[in-house]
Amino acid sequence: MDEFRLFPPQASPVAHEVDWLFFALTAITMFFCAVVFLPIAFFSIKYRRGSRADRSHPWSKSLLMESGWTVVPLVIAMGLFSWGAILYFHIETPPRNALQVQVIGKQWMWKLQHAEGKREINELHVPVGRTVSLTMTSQDVIHSFFVPAFRVKQDVVPGIYTSEWFQPTVPGQYHIFCAEYCGTNHSRMIGRVVVMEPIDYEKWLNSGEPGEAVALAGARLFRDRGCSGCHGANSKFHAPRLEGLYRKPVPLADGTFVNADDQYLRDSILQPGKQISAGYENIMPSYAGRLSEEEIMQLNAYLKSLGQQEAPSK
Amino acid sequence: MEAASLRSQPLVEQQFDDIKQQREAAKLGMWIFLATEVLFFGGLFLGYTVYRFTHGQIFVETSRKLDVILGGTNTAVLLVSSLLMALAVRAAKLDQRRLLTGLLIATAVLGGVFMTIKGVEYHKDYVDHLVPGTHFQWHGNEPQTAELFFWIYFAMTGLHAIHVTVGIGIILVLGLLSGLGKFSHGNHNTVEVAGLYWHFVDIVWVFLFPLLYLVGHR
Amino acid sequence: MITATEIDIKTQGDMAPENYLSVDHSISSWLLTKDHKRIGILYLWTILFFFVIAAVAAALMRIELLTPQGDLVTSDTYNKLFTIHGVLMVWFFLIPSIPAVLGNFVLPLMLGARDVAFPKLNLMSWYLFVAGGALALWSIVRGGVDTGWTFYTPYSTTYANTHVISMAAGVFVAGFSSIITGINFMVTTHKMRAPGLTWFRLPLFVWSLYATSLILVLATPVLAITLALMSVERFWGVGIFDPKLGGDPILFQHLFWFYSHPAVYIMILPGMGVISELITCFARKRIFGYGFVAAASMAIAVLGFLVWGHHMFVSSQSIYAGMVFSILSFLVAIPSAVKVFNWTATLHKGSIHFTTPMLYALSFIGLFTIGGLTGLFLAALAVDVHVTDTYFVVAHFHYIMVGGMVTAFMGGLHYWWPKITGRMYPELPGKLAALTTFLGFNLTFFPQFLLGYLGMPRRYHTYPAEFQAFNVLSTAGASILGIGYLLPLVYFIWALKKGRVAGPNPWRATGLEWQTPSPPPEHNFIKTPIVTEPPYSYSAEKDADLNLASI
- pLDDT surpasses 80 at B185: no
Q: Select the residue of B13, B32, B147 nearest C187 (Cβ to Cβ).
A: B32
The answer to whether A282 contacts B141, with C-beta atoms less than 8 Å apart, is: yes
- pLDDT surpasses 90 at A26: yes
Give Cβ neighbours of residue C278 (< 8 Å, ≥ 6 apart).
C357, C358, C360, C361, C411, C412, C415
At A37 the pLDDT is 96
At B78 the pLDDT is 94
In chain C, residues with a C-beta closer than 8 Å to the C-beta of B132 are 236, 238
Q: In which band, very low, low, confident or very high, does the pLDDT at A38 lie, cut at 50, 70 and 90?
A: very high
In chain B, residues with a C-beta closer than 8 Å to the C-beta of C189 are none
Q: Select the residue of C337, C344, C386 nearest A39 (Cβ to Cβ).
A: C344
The answer to whether B43 contacts C240, with C-beta atoms less than 8 Å apart, is: no
Q: In which band, very low, low, confident or very high, does the pLDDT at A310 lie, cut at 50, 70 and 90?
A: low
Compute the distance between CA of residue C361 and CA of residue B196 in angstroms, rounded to an integer.
44
Q: Hey, is C221 helix, strand or coil? A: helix
Residue type, A98: A
Q: Hey, is A234 helix, strand or coil? A: coil
C23, C183, C191, best to mutate vs chain B, most B CBs in 10 Å: C191
What does the pLDDT look like over B100-123, one tens digit per residue? 999 999 999 999 999 999 999 999
Distance from CA of C221 to the nearest CA of B (A): 4
Mean pLDDT of B52-77: 87
A307-to-A111, A163, A260, A261 alpha-carbon distances in Å: 26, 19, 10, 11
At C550 the pLDDT is 61
At A308 the pLDDT is 67
Task: Assess C75–A contact: CB distance below 8 Å, yes or no.
Answer: yes
At C326 the pLDDT is 94
Residue type, C105: F
Neighbouring chains to B with at least 3 Cβ pairs closer than 8 Å: A, C
In B, minimum Cα distance to A285 occurs at B141
Q: Hey, is C460 helix, strand or coil? A: coil
Q: What separation, in Å, do the N-terminal and C-terminal C-alpha atoms of chain C show?
A: 10
A243-to-A111, A222, A229, A304 alpha-carbon distances in Å: 29, 13, 15, 9
Three-state secondary structure string covering chain B? CCHHHHHHCCCCCCCCCCHHHHHHHHHHHHHHHHHHHHHHHHHHHHHHHHHHHHCHHHHHHHHCCCCHHHHHHHHHHHHHHHHHHHHHHHHHHCCCHHHHHHHHHHHHHHHHHHHHHHHHHHHHHHHCCCCCCCCCCCCCCCHHHHHHHHHHHHHHHHHHHHHHHHHHHHHHHHHHHHHCCCCCCCCCHHHHHHHHHHHHHHHHHHHHHHHHHHCCCC
Host H or E run for residue C435: helix C427-454
In the 8-state DSSP scheme, what is residue C501?
B
Distance from CA of B72 to the nearest CA of A (A): 30
pLDDT averaged per 10 residues, chain C (length 551): 39 60 89 94 96 96 94 94 96 95 96 94 96 96 93 91 93 95 96 93 95 94 92 86 85 91 92 96 94 93 92 90 93 94 94 95 96 95 95 96 96 96 94 96 96 96 94 96 95 93 91 92 89 90 80 54
Q: Select the residue of A274, A282, A286 nearest B55 (Cβ to Cβ).
A: A274
Residues A192, A176: contact at Cβ < 8 Å? yes
C363-to-C102, C268, C375, C501 alpha-carbon distances in Å: 19, 14, 18, 28
Q: In which band, very low, low, confident or very high, does the pLDDT at A275 lie, cut at 50, 70 and 90?
A: confident
- pLDDT surpasses 80 at A234: no
Parallel/antiparallel/unpaired status of strands A162-166 and A132-138: antiparallel
Q: Which residues pair with A145 in a beta bridge?
A: A154, A178
The answer to whether B32 contacts C217, with C-beta atoms less than 8 Å apart, is: yes
- pLDDT surpasses 80 at A135: yes
Compute the distance between CA of residue B150 and CA of residue C102 in angstroms, rounded to an integer.
46
At C17 the pLDDT is 63
Neighbouring chains to A with at least 3 Cβ pairs closer than 8 Å: B, C
In chain A, residues with a C-beta closer than 8 Å to the C-beta of B141 are 273, 282
Parallel/antiparallel/unpaired status of strands A191-196 and A123-127: parallel
The answer to whether C246 contacts B144, with C-beta atoms less than 8 Å apart, is: yes
A269, A274, A281, best to mutate vs chain B, most B CBs in 10 Å: A274
Compute the distance between CA of residue A297 and CA of residue A287 in angstroms, rounded to an integer.
13
Residues B133, B28: contact at Cβ < 8 Å? no
- pLDDT surpasses 80 at B184: no
In chain A, residues with a C-beta closer than 8 Å to the C-beta of B54 are 274
Mean pLDDT of A297-312: 76
Distance from CA of B55 to the nearest CA of A (A): 6
Between B and C, how many CB-CB pairs are < 8 A? 106
pLDDT, greater one: B28 or C528:
B28
In chain C, residues with a C-beta closer than 8 Å to the C-beta of B1 are 528
The answer to whether C222 contacts B42, with C-beta atoms less than 8 Å apart, is: yes
The answer to whether A271 contacts B54, with C-beta atoms less than 8 Å apart, is: no
Residues C336, C374: contact at Cβ < 8 Å? no
Residues A170, A9: contact at Cβ < 8 Å? yes
Task: Assess A58–C contact: CB distance below 8 Å, yes or no.
Answer: yes
Q: Select the residue of C117, C246, C255 nearest B43 (Cβ to Cβ).
A: C255
In chain B, residues with a C-beta closer than 8 Å to the C-beta of C237 are 133
At B8 the pLDDT is 34
Residues B142, B58: contact at Cβ < 8 Å? yes
Residues C486, C406: contact at Cβ < 8 Å? no
- pLDDT surpasses 60 at A36: yes
Residues C536, C33: contact at Cβ < 8 Å? no
Q: What is the DSSP string of C36-93?
A: HHHHHHHHHHHHHHHHHHHHHHHHHHHHHTTSSS--SS-HHHHHHHHHHHHHIIIIII
Q: Quick one: C301 exposed, middle or buried, by C-beta within 10 A (0-12, 13-18, 19+)? A: buried
At A312 the pLDDT is 52
Compute the distance between CA of residue C505 and CA of residue C8 in angstroms, rounded to an integer.
8
The answer to whether C541 contacts A55, with C-beta atoms less than 8 Å apart, is: yes
The beta-strand segments (E) located in chain A are 99-106, 109-114, 119-121, 123-127, 132-138, 143-147, 152-156, 162-166, 172-178, 191-196, 249-251, 257-259
CB atoms within 10 A of CB C488: 22
The answer to whether C348 contacts A182, with C-beta atoms less than 8 Å apart, is: no
In chain C, residues with a C-beta closer than 8 Å to the C-beta of A43 are 344, 347-348, 350, 352
B52, B151, B196, B197, best to mutate vs chain C, most C CBs in 10 Å: B151
C413-to-C271, C418, C421 alpha-carbon distances in Å: 11, 9, 11
At C509 the pLDDT is 93
The answer to whether A154 contacts C314, with C-beta atoms less than 8 Å apart, is: yes
Distance from CA of C245 to the nearest CA of B (A): 6
In chain A, residues with a C-beta closer than 8 Å to the C-beta of C144 are none
Between A and B, how many CB-CB pairs are < 8 A? 12
At C205 the pLDDT is 96
Task: Assess A256–B contact: CB distance below 8 Å, yes or no.
Answer: no
Compute the distance between CA of residue C58 and CA of residue C77 in angstroms, rounded to an integer.
12
The answer to whether B142 contacts A282, with C-beta atoms less than 8 Å apart, is: no
- pLDDT surpasses 50 at B2: no
Task: Assess B155–C contact: CB distance below 8 Å, yes or no.
Answer: yes
The answer to whether C466 contacts A88, with C-beta atoms less than 8 Å apart, is: no
Interface subset of A 268-297, CB within 8 angstroms of B: 271, 273-274, 282, 286, 288
What does the pLDDT look like over A71-115, one tens digit per residue? 999 999 999 999 999 999 999 888 888 999 999 999 999 999 998
What does the pLDDT look like over A154-209, one tens digit per residue? 999 998 999 999 999 999 999 999 999 999 999 999 999 999 999 999 999 888 77
Choice among A137-146, B137-146, C79-88, C371-380 with the minimum mean pLDDT: B137-146
The answer to whether B47 contacts C113, with C-beta atoms less than 8 Å apart, is: no
At A267 the pLDDT is 85
Q: Hey, is C422 helix, strand or coil? A: coil
Q: Hey, is C462 helix, strand or coil? A: coil
Task: Assess B58–A contact: CB distance below 8 Å, yes or no.
Answer: yes
**At residue A155, what are phi and psi to the nearest 5 degrees?**
-65, 145
Give this complex's ipTM.
0.91
At C195 the pLDDT is 92
Cβ burial C169-207 (10 Å sphere, 16+ → b, else e): bbbbbbbbbbbbbbbbbbbbbbbbbbeebeeebbbbbbb
Q: Select the residue of A39, A81, A190 nearest C326 (Cβ to Cβ).
A: A81
In A, minimum Cα distance to C243 occurs at A159
In C, minimum Cα distance to A83 occurs at C380
Q: Select the residue of A273, A286, A288 nearest B57 (Cβ to Cβ).
A: A273
CB atoms within 10 A of CB B53: 9
Residue type, C192: M
